[in-house]
Amino acid sequence: MVGKSMATKNNQIDGSYLSRQRLVHWFELGAVVGTGALHLLFKHFGAKGLFIVLASVFWTGYIAWQVRRDRTKWGSWGFRTDNLWGAFKWPTVLFVLAGMGMAWYGVKTGRVLWQGHMVFLLLLYPLWGVLQQFLVQALGVDNLMKLFPRHGLLLAMPVGVVLFAVVHFPNWRLMLATGLLACFFIPLYIRDRNLWPLGLYHGWLGTFFYLWVLGRDPWVSVFGK
């Protein structure tokens, strides 16, 4: 009787823990969608730079709070260095090919290929890129796969692609490019679970895409003149 009682109690504890975990997954997923909606709202009012600052502060604080409670989350989310070599290989190939294609388009259309503050952007933008990849991959795609394990990538992939593309509405070229990027980055994240190469190349590709394809200064597009 004692053994049976203990087993029942353990099952109740396990069930309660799983319920709390599901709530966390739903909360994080909802917060990601809410962040995307706020991004569109701030952008509509010409306050994209302010949004980036506020979102960065909030989500950096959330990461710090969760890691303080459970240190294993730092690595499980994808902030890891143990597999950097393997995790960088295919994103680097993608970056080189996409970069060459954008440079060719920039030369063909007479775009300005370099500006004075490009070095600063190439250092700063990847930080925002890592945070965006964290939201889409770790809190979006990964939570979807945990909440709907039977559907897995078949559900997480299209939702992640749409989520990443729609936050760049209404620029159809930017939506198409980010949606295509997500098609490659989502499987790479699931395979390697490493955010560093994805965030780095997200920032660099974004910088070059604005300048070489859209013909716009990314700094001015975000913060104004």
% of the chain at pLDDT higher than 90: 71
How far is it, in rounded angstroms, from Cα 51 to Cα 112?
Answer: 28
- For 170, the domain range is 2-71+83-223
Domain-located, residue 76:
no
Indicate the range of 9-13, 31-35, 64-68, 103-107 predicted with least confidence: 9-13
The confidence score (pLDDT) of residue 10 equals 46
Q: pTM, whole model, 2 decimals?
A: 0.88
Of 39 and 225, the one with more pLDDT: 39
Domain-located, residue 164:
yes
Match 């099952």 to its residue by tokens: 11
The 10s digit of each residue's pLDDT in 105-117 is 999 998 988 887 7
Domain-located, residue 213:
yes
Domain-located, residue 34:
yes
In this predicted structure, the answer to whether residue 128 has a pLDDT above a threshold of 90 is yes
The confidence score (pLDDT) of residue 220 equals 65
Contact 33, 159 (CB under 8 A): no
In this predicted structure, the answer to whether residue 17 has a pLDDT above a threshold of 80 is no
Domain count, the chain: 1
Of 218 and 178, the one with more pLDDT: 178
In this predicted structure, the answer to whether residue 21 has a pLDDT above a threshold of 80 is yes
The token pair at 141 is 């795609």
In this predicted structure, the answer to whether residue 6 has a pLDDT above a threshold of 80 is no
Per-residue buried b or exposed e for 158-172, using 16+ beta carbons within 10 Å of the residue's own CB: ebbbebbbbbbeeee
In this predicted structure, the answer to whether residue 182 has a pLDDT above a threshold of 60 is yes
The 10s digit of each residue's pLDDT in 186-216 is 999 999 999 999 999 999 999 999 999 998 8
Q: What band does 151 get if pLDDT is binned at 50, 70 and 90?
A: confident
The confidence score (pLDDT) of residue 153 equals 83
% of the chain at pLDDT higher than 70: 89
Domain-located, residue 124:
yes
How far is it, in rounded angstroms, from Cα 28 to Cα 32?
Answer: 6
CA 65 to the chain's CA centroid: 19
How far is it, in rounded angstroms, from Cα 196 to Cα 81?
Answer: 8
